Structure 1
Amino acid sequence: MSVLTPPRTDRGIGRINPVAKLGASLLLAGVLVLTIDWVSAAVALCCELVLFLFAGVSLRTLVWRTLPVWLAAPTVAVTTLLYGQESGAVYWSFGLIHVTEGSAALALASLLRVLAIGLPAVVLFITVDPTDLADGLAQVVRLPARFVLGGLAGLRLVGLFIDDWHALELARRARGVADGHAIRRVGSQAFALLVLSIRRGSKLATAMEARGFGSDAPRSWARESPFGAREWGLIALGALVAALAVTVAVLTGSWNFVLG
């Protein structure tokens, strides 16, 4: 199963307009980035983990798609722990590395913030098809059709780029030029992919222009992008989780406004 292919489902979040998913994830992320404390992130993460049970996504798909977030969060935490702001008691020190009470608290907050922001963003977009997202951005958000269709065409080419990379690798190996230095081989193959991508992009742009995609005339859309009670409910749910996280952080005295 490719990470670029959304699993089709008519359950849970699969029925919700992608614009609502985008709005809910941006709302939650916008609130969590305003503070650096572990309480607000922990509250939001706990609420999200409970809501994931009703997302209508299988556990295998959920784990596979969110794996990069689970791997990135500890990396951020360890880096912050070793090189974060020094304050409070010093637990361990070696050269430029200083593990202090302040850096430990900041590392915990960073770990939870990455999970609280990254996990819902990934889960909400697991079932999003690029065409559905483009329809929503054009019909609901009213973004310019030329911008939306150009972005959709570019996103559709990502899968082709991956196939081109594998094809180039096999072709170079068949010609006996893929056994050299690894860094040099990757650089040469990346340049070949860049040239191929520019050519394909130019052909695609010409084809789309010839079919009238660059016209300023009002466009019609093959599929309607509905935005109703389910979508507003998801946005309200995201706002509720964000408000609860902020309230608990303020009441416990851990709120730490980043601009303060």
Structure 2
Amino acid sequence: MKKLNPTVKFGTILALALLVSFQNNVLLNTVLAVLFLLLVSYYLPVKKLLLLSVFLTLAAAGVFFTGLIFYRDNQHGTTNISSLQYAIGLASRIYCFGFTGSLFAATTSMTAFIYSLQQQLHLPAIFAYGLMAAFHMAPMIPHEYRNTINSLRSRGITNNYFSIKIVTPLLVKTIRWSELLATAMTSRGFSSDETRTYSQHYVINWPDWLFCAGLLGLGLLLTIFHGDNLFK
């Protein structure tokens, strides 16, 4: 999975997510969730896999009862097989989306994904490096958030965690970071109009096409099978 082209991998997973989103197909959701769970379990440690499963289960339980109550209210307060199928279909989507997204995150680095978008989809360099900069700055925000809280506490000021007195310094710092980064890139001669070279080239090979065709074919096959059952 790590050797697959990041753009093809992302496009395939996105297409599967759209296919799942526009239908209430429990069989499709279950097959994809189990398949990607097996793949994710190979790349994630057991602790992270269990933590991911717990969060997905909590989210799925909430969606299940929400869908069940919503469907029951529209059916004049009656709970039947259709309402259970509707709720199970919504809940199974959570596992499907969670495991597919986790597999992409576990097998693809942000740098490789950005470079692949530049080479395969011709993403402009100014957007590519902006995304990369934002990704690398994100881990700094929690550290600055804690520093801001400690700084206010040292002055005898206590606020809740979403106070404007805490959020405002963070916004100012992020703006300052972006200005410094833009200045640094300009001073080093960065230009979005110039032709750039890459230390690593990403190409689309036959395993990428096999991965894309196999998963999309499986998704379409289960969609057609589900549609045939609906009309019986």
Q: TM-score range by the shorter chain?
A: 0.7 to 0.9
Q: Which residue of 2 aligns with 1:57?
A: 44
AA matched with 1:14: K
Deviation at 1:102? 4.5
Question: Which moved further from structure 2: 241-250 or 197-206?
Answer: 241-250
5+ unaligned residues in a row in structure 2: which ranges?
none
* Structure-2 separation of matches of 1:207 and 1:65: 38
Correspondence list, 1:153-192, <5 A: 153-178=133-158, 180=159, 182=160, 186-192=163-169
Give SS of 1:216's match: coil
Correspondence list, 1:225-236, <5 A: 225-236=202-213
Q: Which residue of 1 aligns with 2:229?
A: 252
Question: Which moved further from structure 2: 106-115 or 37-46?
Answer: 37-46
Q: Paired residue for 1:46, among 27, 31, 34?
A: 34
Q: Which residue of 2 aligns with 1:222?
A: 199
Question: What's the CA shift string for 1:100-132, capped at 9, x where partnerless?
Answer: 654433211110122212321122221322111
Give SS of 2:226's match: helix
CA contact (8 A) 1:40 1:248 kept: no
Structure 2 vs 1, CA of residues 231 and 62 (structure 1 numbering), >3 Å: closer, same or farther?
Answer: farther
Deviation at 1:137? 0.7
CA contact (8 A) 1:76 1:110 kept: yes
Q: Which residue of 1 aligns with 2:57?
A: 70
Structure 2 vs 1, CA of residues 210 and 218 (structure 1 numbering), >3 Å: closer, same or farther?
Answer: same
CA contact (8 A) 1:89 1:101 kept: no
Give SS of 1:166's match: helix
Give SS of 2:137's match: helix
Structure 2 vs 1, CA of residues 247 and 19 (structure 1 numbering), >3 Å: closer, same or farther?
Answer: same
Structure with a larger share of its residues in helix:
2
Q: List, as ranges, runs of 4+ consecutive aligned residues in structure 1 with deviation greater than 6 Å.
A: none
* Structure-2 separation of matches of 1:228 and 1:221: 19
Structure 2 vs 1, CA of residues 200 and 219 (structure 1 numbering), >3 Å: closer, same or farther?
Answer: same
Structure 2 vs 1, CA of residues 161 and 252 (structure 1 numbering), >3 Å: closer, same or farther?
Answer: same
Structure 2 vs 1, CA of residues 59 and 234 (structure 1 numbering), >3 Å: closer, same or farther?
Answer: farther
Q: Which residue of 1 aligns with 2:84?
A: 104
Q: Which residue of 1 aligns with 2:3?
A: 15
Aligned residues: 232
CA contact (8 A) 1:77 1:108 kept: yes
Structure 2 vs 1, CA of residues 50 and 154 (structure 1 numbering), >3 Å: closer, same or farther?
Answer: closer
* Structure-2 separation of matches of 1:105 and 1:65: 24
Deviation at 1:86? 4.1
* Structure-2 separation of matches of 1:58 and 1:236: 29
* Structure-2 separation of matches of 1:75 and 1:221: 46
AA matched with 1:45: A
Q: Which residue of 2 aligns with 1:258?
A: none
CA contact (8 A) 1:28 1:117 kept: no
Seq. identity, %: 23
